[in-house]
Amino acid sequence: MKKTLTLLVASTALTAAIGVPAWSAMQSPPDVLRSVAALFDDAPQAMPLVLASDDDDNDDDRWRDGSRRGHDDDDDDDDDDDDDCRGGARNPAPAGTVAPPQNGLFGNGAPPQVQVN
Amino acid sequence: MKSLLATLALTTALTLPGLAMARPVTLTTTLNNYGGDGAYLALYVTDTSGAYVGSLWMAGGKSKYYEHLSDWYRATGGDTAQVNGITGASVGAGRTLEITLDLADALFDAGYTLHIDAAVEDMRDSPNEVAVPLTTDGAGTPVSGRRYIASFAYDM
């Protein structure tokens, strides 16, 4: 009987020791959690901010590295379906697949016709 | 019988102005031999106050490059819905892009301006490469661009 009681007390104490901090953390406002997490996140994020050079400053008028198409050929087609999205941005529907936008510029007549010579 | 005639008259009256209020217009853009990849071009219209009205054509299908068409991008926020159904491939150096669109008559002689922004990979962006007032008198008159466009003209 004494042994059972001891086991029950021990398991209750253990549960309380683990559970109470976890429960109170769940009850805390999200901002508090975020600010605590930020203390740990700041250090790894700070490292990439140290720049050895200022080369990036002169690239405003060029397509950035992240924007490059990944191939060096001179063709002008865009029919390939690689890496079509960045940051969830969708590519527009090609001409002929949907009607032109209702922006007041277009009539309701013939669909757009395009030719490259 | 009478109601049928009235309906027919009404539908005709509603349809005819619609047919008369638009016309096919051909936009012809010839690029220089600038020695780079295919150019992205945004053709769009502003009103008398310079406010963006809408897009006419987008040459270049990948929206991730649209930020380089900087004036168009600033006006639209890069909204691809603006160019849904009016987007084609980018245009190679030295090539001629010919687009025929059914455009509203109200666009002409009303103070609207057609703009073209251009951008080429690893080369300078060229916003407002062409800005041409839309007038019936100006039809067929070629204008030069600043960097990549050798000539642009609209015909109707």
Convert the pLDDT of each residue in B60-106 to its tens digit: 999 999 999 999 999 999 999 999 999 999 999 999 999 999 999 99
Convert the pLDDT of each residue in A9-56 to its tens digit: 666 666 656 554 444 433 333 333 334 344 344 433 434 343 443 434
Query: φ, ψ for residue B89 (rounded to 5)?
Result: -75, 160
pLDDT: is B124 or A10 the higher one? B124
User: Looking at chain B, which residue has its C-alpha nearest residue A72?
Assistant: B37
Q: Where are the domains of chain B?
A: 2-155
Q: Supply the DSSP string of chain B, one letter for each residue.
A: -HHHHHHHHHHHHHHHHHHHTEEEEEEEEEE---SSSPBEEEEEEE-TTS-EEEEEEEE---GGGGGGSHHHHHHHTT-GGGGTTSEE--B-TT-EEEEEEEEEGGGTTSS-EEEEEEE-TTS--EEEEEEEE--STTTT--B--SSSEEEEEEE-
Which of the following CATH numbers is that of domain B2-155: 2.20.28, 2.60.40, 3.40.50, 1.10.60? 2.60.40
Taking an 8 Å cut-off on Cβ atoms, the answer to whether B64 and A61 are in contact is no
Band of pLDDT at residue B57, cut at 50, 70 and 90:
very high
Of B24, B65, B103, the CB nearest to A105: B103
User: Looking at chain B, which residue has its C-alpha nearest residue A106?
Assistant: B103
| pTM summary value | 0.65
